[in-house]
C-alpha cells in the first residue's frame, strides 16, 4: 500500500483540486473519453453517493470502476448479478459447526469500499433488496447480528438498457437510493480508434494511488465546511423547489400532471444539494450557483421521474421533463409556502 498523505493537507482547496485532476488522469490512462461518466463517479465519491450506470455492453463501465479503485487505493469487489443469485451471496451468511454447535459469520463481498453490482437488473427483487440496508445504513444484518461496513462504501451498479429477456425492474426503493443515474454513450470515432489501438498493444498502464479512503472522508468534511448550505440559503430553497416541481400533486403546472406519474422523493433534494456543492467546489467556485444545480439536476432526477404511459408513447424522456422544470421554476421565489 502506498504511503498515506497527511489528511491535514485537505484543508487546502487547491490541493484537493489537484488530487481530483490526478484521479481523472489515472483513470484516463485506461479509459478513453467518457468524461461525463468519470466526472460523475468522482463527484458521487466525494458526495457519499451511489451510482447507477446505464449503457450498452463494452463501453468501459466495469473497467472504469476497477481503475478508480486502484487510483484511490480502495478495496474493490465485483458481483455478477444473475437470476440464480441469492441474498446471502451478497451480504454473507451464518455457518453452524455441528460438532461444536457454535456459529460463525462468513462475510460477503459487500464488505468493501467500492462494490460493483454488474448487470444488477438480471437478479430478482429479493436479491436486489439485499443491498438496501447497506446502501442506506452502511450496515448489514446477518442472522441476529448487525455489522458495520467501511466508512467509505459506494455501490456502483450497471444495467443494460436493451436487454428485456431475463431481466427485472429495479425496486423503486432501491432506485431512489442511487444518487446518480448516468447514461454511458458510445465513443466518438476518434475515441474508438484510440481504444482499439490501446487494446491491441501489449503495454499495461502504470497506475498509482493518488488518494486513499481515509483521505476521501476528510475531503468530504472539508468541502461541506468550505461551502455550507444553511436552511435559509436561497440556492438550497431553489434546489428544493426544483425537486418538488417533479411531483404532479405539489404544483399547478399542467405539463407535469400530463407527463409524470410519480416525482422525486425528499432524498433527491438532499442529493441535489450535496452533488451541486461538490460540483461547484471542483469547478473552482466558493458558492453554489444555479448552473451547478442545473447540471446536477439531470443525473439526480432522471431515474426518479416516473413518466405516464402517455408520455412514454410520445417518446418523451425524463430529461425532457427536467429541462422543462428548469425553465419554469424561478431562481428566486418570494412565496415559500411550497
Cβ(189)–Cβ(150) below 8 Å: no
Q: Domain extents for the chain?
A: 7-214, 229-328
CATH class belonging to 7-214: alpha beta
For the segment 190-227, what is each residue's pLDDT rounded down to a tens digit?
988 888 888 787 777 888 888 899 889 988 988 988 88
Q: What is the mean pLDDT of the chain?
A: 85
Q: In the 8-state DSSP scheme, what is residue 237?
A: H
User: What pLDDT score does 2 carry?
Assistant: 41
- Which positions ≥6 away from 299 have C-beta within 8 Å? 40, 179, 180, 181, 182, 275
User: What pLDDT score does 153 carry?
Assistant: 94
User: What pLDDT score does 1 carry?
Assistant: 40
φ/ψ bin of 161: left (φ > 0), alpha (ψ from -120 to 50), beta (otherwise): alpha
User: What pLDDT score does 258 carry?
Assistant: 79
Q: Which CATH superfamily is domain 229-328 in?
A: Magnesium chelatase subunit I, C-Terminal domain (1.10.8.80)
User: What pLDDT score does 11 carry?
Assistant: 66
Run of H or E residues at 105: strand 102-107
Residue 74 phi, psi dihedral angles, 5° rounding: -105, 155
CA of residue 209 relative to chain centroid, distance? 21
List the chain residues with pLDDT less than 70. 1-11, 97, 162-166, 250-254, 334-338
CA distances in angstroms from 333 to 240, 243, 294, 329, listed in the order given: 11, 14, 17, 9
CA of residue 63 relative to chain centroid, distance? 16
User: What pLDDT score does 129 carry?
Assistant: 79
Residue 12 phi, psi dihedral angles, 5° rounding: -105, 110
pTM across the whole model: 0.86
Cβ(314)–Cβ(227) below 8 Å: no
Cα(142)–Cα(126) distance, integer angstroms: 15
User: What pLDDT score does 3 carry?
Assistant: 43
Cα(229)–Cα(235) distance, integer angstroms: 8
Amino acid at each position: 500500500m502506498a504511503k498515506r498523505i497527511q489528511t491535514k493537507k485537505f484543508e487546502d482547496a487547491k490541493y484537493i483540486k489537484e488530487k481530483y485532476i490526478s484521479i481523472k488522469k489515472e483513470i484516463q490512462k485506461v479509459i478513453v473519453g467518457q468524461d461525463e461518466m468519470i466526472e460523475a463517479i468522482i463527484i458521487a465519491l466525494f458526495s457519499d453517493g451511489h451510482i447507477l450506470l446505464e449503457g450498452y455492453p463494452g463501453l468501459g463501465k466495469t473497467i472504469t470502476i476497477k481503475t478508480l479503485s486502484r487510483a484511490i487505493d480502495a478495496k474493490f469487489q465485483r458481483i455478477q448479478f444473475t437470476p440464480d443469485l441469492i441474498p446471502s451471496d451478497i451480504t454473507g451468511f451464518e455457518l453452524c459447526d455441528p460438532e461444536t454447535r457454535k456459529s460463525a459469520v462468513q462475510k460477503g463481498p459487500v464488505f468493501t469500499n467500492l462494490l460493483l453490482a454488474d448487470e444488477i437488473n438480471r437478479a430478482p427483487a429479493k436479491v436486489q433488496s439485499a443491498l438496501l440496508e447497506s446502501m442506506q445504513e452502511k450496515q448489514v444484518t446477518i442472522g441476529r447480528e448487525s455489522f458495520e461496513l467501511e466508512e467509505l462504501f459506494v455501490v456502483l451498479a450497471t444495467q443494460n438498457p436493451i436487454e428485456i429477456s431475463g431481466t427485472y425492474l429495479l425496486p423503486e426503493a432501491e432506485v431512489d437510493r442511487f444518487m446518480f443515474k448516468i447514461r454511458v454513450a458510445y465513443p466518438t470515432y476518434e475515441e474508438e480508434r484510440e481504444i482499439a489501438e490501446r487494446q491491441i498493444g501489449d503495454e499495461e498502464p502504470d497506475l498509482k494511488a493518488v488518494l486513499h479512503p481515509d483521505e476521501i472522508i476528510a475531503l468530504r468534511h472539508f468541502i461541506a465546511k468550505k461551502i455550507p448550505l444553511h436552511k435559509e440559503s436561497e440556492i438550497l430553497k431553489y434546489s428544493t423547489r426544483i425537486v418538488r416541481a417533479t411531483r404532479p400533486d405539489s404544483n399547478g403546472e399542467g405539463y407535469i400532471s400530463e407527463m409524470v406519474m410519480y416525482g422525486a422523493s425528499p432524498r433527491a433534494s438532499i442529493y441535489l444539494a450535496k452533488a451541486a456543492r461538490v460540483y461547484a467546489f471542483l469547478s473552482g467556485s466558493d458558492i453554489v450557483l444555479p448552473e451547478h444545480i442545473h447540471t446536477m439536476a439531470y443525473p439526480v432526477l432522471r431515474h426518479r421521474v416516473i413518466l405516464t404511459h402517455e408520455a412514454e408513447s410520445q417518446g418523451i424522456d425524463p430529461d425532457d421533463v427536467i429541462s422543462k422544470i428548469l425553465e419554469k421554476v424561478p431562481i428566486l421565489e418570494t412565496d415559500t409556502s411550497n
